[in-house]
Amino acid sequence: MQDNIKQLLTHIQTGDILSLAKGITLLENELPGYESLLLQLQDTHHARVIGITGPPGAGKSTLVNALLHYWLKQNKKIAVIAVDPSSPFNYGALLGDRIRMSDFYTHPNVFIRSLASRGNLGGLSSKIIEITDLVKNAPFDYILIETVGVGQSEVDIAGLADCTIVTLVPEAGDEVQTIKAGIMEIADIFVVNKADRDSAEALFRNLRILSHEKAGTDAETPVIKTIATSREGIDELASAVHEFLARHTELPTKRMHLLAEKCWQLIQAKRMKNIDPQKLKTELSKALLQPAFNIYSFAKQFEESQG
């Protein structure tokens, strides 16, 4: 089993798409060998993770489709992880939005995988961190994560992504002032999609005002107008993403919080419930400075040290 898992990871690292799909299935369903696979993952920072979130109907999938067209022209390799609402009958993903990306199903530089949220309130699959870590081991330039929609606990995406795009539509203009502060905080870039509709300009101005008020002495959050169906504004959006990633290369505070929470979950799963969360966070802070950091190895060593 150990040799088979090692061989599987080697194939994933060389870009074998079928092996990557098999590895994701292994992790998502906790099949035999999944823990061994997690422990062998490399801490690679090559692929940058971009989260795309927003309310239902905001055009997130069409926006992803437009970004794929843009980056493929630059010969980039891209993975798309689309987290769908779950079927109430079998907890499988409802794949309605994926037909918008049908142009890329057989493209050699694109990998698309739908995951079911399985009732997870944050709009993300419960296995999204593990799956993202696995996909990072494949030779992609970007990993796009599209979430179910905006909810109070969807701040998880801000911890997972290197850059988070919050997508809104003109119809949301009157609601911007009432959007929960936590959701406003997660945006690294705002997108006003379907910008050819009525009230688009009003929403754009409101977001610019909110961005200015939130910024203080920091850089303002960019607000980009797009019409994803015709790919208008996509160049500007891609440039904003590139500039943000170039400016932010350090480990974000939100990532640290998410990793500490994940370590807590991993240890709890092993019935280690008497762990001091503050001590866990302190030890994790030290471990993150090591070049060969692996969260799954860290969790196992921490668990054993507390035994």
Supply the DSSP string of 198-230, one letter for each residue.
TTHHHHHHHHHHHHHHHHTTSPPPPEEE-BGGG
Q: What is the pLDDT of residue 67?
A: 97
Nearest Cα residue to 49 out of 115, 140, 152: 140
Question: Burial of 91 by CB count in 10 Å (0-12 exposed, 13-18 middle, 19+ buried)?
Answer: exposed
pLDDT, residue 26, reads 96
State residue 121's pLDDT score.
45
> In this structure, what token pair is assigned to residue 252?
């974000």
How high is the mean pLDDT of the chain?
Answer: 83
Q: Which of 74-78, 104-108, 154-158 has the lowest mean pLDDT?
A: 154-158
pTM for the structure as a whole: 0.83
For residue 284, the surrounding DSSP H or E stretch is: helix 277-287
Residue 185 has pLDDT above 90, yes or no: no
DSSP 46: S
Q: Residue 274: is its pLDDT beyond 80?
A: no
pLDDT tens-place string over residues 33-89:
999 999 999 877 789 999 998 888 889 999 999 999 999 999 999 999 988 654 433
Q: Is the pLDDT of residue 252 over 80?
A: no
